[in-house]
Amino acid sequence: MLNAMTGVVGVLRALGLLAAVWGGLAAAAWFSGVLPPMPGSSSAQTGSEADEIRSDAARSGRGARPPAAARAPRGKPSQGSGKVASRVPWKSKDSAKSSPTSLSAAKEQARYSACGASVTAPVIAVADWVGDGRDEVAVGCGSEIKLLAARERGSARPVRVATLAPSKAGATAGTLTTHVGQILSADTNGDRLADMVVGFYRTGPDGPRGGAIYRLQADVSGAFGVPERLAPIAATQATAAPLDGVAGADVVAINRTDARGRRKNEVWVFGGGAAISRKARLKAGTSETTAVVADVNRDGHQDIVVGNRDDTSLQIYFGDGTARFSRSTEVALEFAASSLSSGDLDGDGGVDVLVFGEKNFWLPATEGELKPQRLSVPSGLRGARVRDANGDGRIDIVGMLGGEVVLLAQKSSGNFSPAVLFSSRDRSAPVIAFDMGELDGRPGLDLAVLSHAAKRGGPSELVLLAGPLHKSDTGDKPAPLTFASVVESIPDAPLSLSIELPRVR
């Protein structure tokens, strides 16, 4: 009798949860004037602590969702393009037919409140997590991430569609403070949907002290799965790339093990798939570490290149297609590396590594001896992105210099022409972070920029800038910016969601 009653109670609870979810979706549809479509078919850890590092998904399973749908409903992947159709409840039902609204249509450039003055290191990422072909902006402020999307009802102003944060029980511990280290978009399980990978780290009086890295798998029904804690590491940086030939991108994360520099940092490699797991744990330097993935020896397998702010050499771990990295070597530099990036700089079909610091270098991909060469771009370039930014078929560099975001357009092999894409309102306040993507629905790359409001250490502002990388009749130089005098707050979208991540250790 007791077992039967327990079963009945379980069924009732399940029905109640199902009714609540569909009720939320119906409310969103009613607000938007469109019903959602049916879902488509388709610090270093050692000893026993390291043994605990298993995907939460292996214990909890796949397919559970946060309270209400964490994403807008998706359609099936379209044939050939790999794109996924979507109709999202905070966008107009006629948005697919109407012309997109330009982010820079206003005479004055809008400024949006991003993070408070107490947030010392905000981060930003631009990607199409919703799957509608138009990128969203994720802003990491302290221990939370704000996911923003443009609303197409006569305006391109952003609204907050979701907030992600670790459980409050682990957000702070004594004198430790939690920060977002990295936000990634990558298909980590091979289903052609953009999953979200998020790294957190905690800091105390002496620097980083632990953290966590998570994965949120995308679902064709429009939701994220249950957040999975991949490992309790101080994930200050992460990237994703195919390393082992198995479906799903693999994740490469920096673990800042010891703020005092007594132990070396580590590079953790997680193999992609439905049940993600750690495959390698590689040594790095003792100072601030950066890493990039590229096939530097052109053997068909991706390698990991590691640089350190206090080390005048690069550590290269050669891949063998299994994500194990049993061979390594060092390449000497004249100066230490502050950051790394990768791209086919010389257009020969190989992926080269670009090294930024007091002096800049590039490491051409070659089957022979790896020899760094000087790179003639300004020193002090931060957060560099390497890609064809202006659509001329050549690889360019976009990065931050003081209070500006600059485009270094490659005119011929190794020769770059600079253009300022964005300048802070206060030149004494450096740009904090930026990313690029298609924000306004038009072809070409747009900018999302975080900068301080007036001075270093003050509140941060978000500026969405369309068109600085588009070709125009006036050439490469964008029009001067005129900023609005008032900073606007970012409103919540209808049915804005709050997603709780497992506790940061």
- The string of pLDDT tens digits covering residues 370-417 is 999 999 999 989 999 999 988 888 999 999 998 899 999 998 888 999
Neighbouring-strand partners of residue 184: 197
Q: Which amino acid is at 142?
A: G
User: What is the distance between the alpha carbons of residues 316 and 307, in angstroms, rounded to a whole number?
Assistant: 9
Determine the 3-state secondary structure of 178 from DSSP.
strand
Flag residues of the chain having pLDDT under 70: 1-108, 151-156, 169-174, 207, 222, 258-262, 427-428, 454-457, 467-481
Question: How high is the pLDDT of residue 62?
Answer: 37
Question: How high is the pLDDT of residue 456?
Answer: 58
CA-nearest of 141, 107, 125 to 461 is 141
HEC sequence for 409-469: EEEECCEEEEEEEEECCCCCCCEEEEEEECCCCCCCCEEEEEEECCCCCCCEEEEEECCCC
Q: 166: which 2 tokens?
A: 């670790």
Q: 310: which 2 tokens?
A: 């206090």
The burial class, CB within 10 Å (0-12 / 13-18 / 19+), for 133 is middle
66-88, pLDDT tens digit by residue? 333 333 334 333 323 333 223 23
User: What is the distance between the alpha carbons of residues 293 and 298, in angstroms, rounded to a whole number?
Assistant: 12
User: What is the distance between the alpha carbons of residues 419 and 172, in angstroms, rounded to a whole number?
Assistant: 42
Question: How high is the pLDDT of residue 80?
Answer: 30
Question: How high is the pLDDT of residue 2?
Answer: 34
Q: 294: which 2 tokens?
A: 């590229």
User: What is the distance between the alpha carbons of residues 29 and 35, in angstroms, rounded to a whole number?
Assistant: 5
User: What is the distance between the alpha carbons of residues 288 and 256, in angstroms, rounded to a whole number?
Assistant: 8
Question: How high is the pLDDT of residue 262?
Answer: 63
Question: How high is the pLDDT of residue 24?
Answer: 43
User: What is the distance between the alpha carbons of residues 407 and 376, in angstroms, rounded to a whole number?
Assistant: 14
Determine the 3-state secondary structure of 277 from DSSP.
strand
- Which regions of 195-338 does DSSP assign to beta strands (E)? 195-204, 207-216, 228-231, 235-241, 250-255, 266-271, 277-283, 289-294, 303-308, 311-318, 327-332
Q: Are the C-beta atoms of residues 222 and 38 closer than 8 Å to each other?
A: no
Handedness of CA 309, 310, 311, 316 (dihedral sign): negative
Q: 179: which 2 tokens?
A: 């920060």
Handedness of CA 109, 115, 119, 123 (dihedral sign): negative
Backbone angles phi, psi at 340, to 5 degrees: -130, 155
Q: 180: which 2 tokens?
A: 């977002």
Q: Are the C-beta atoms of residues 354 and 342 closer than 8 Å to each other?
A: yes
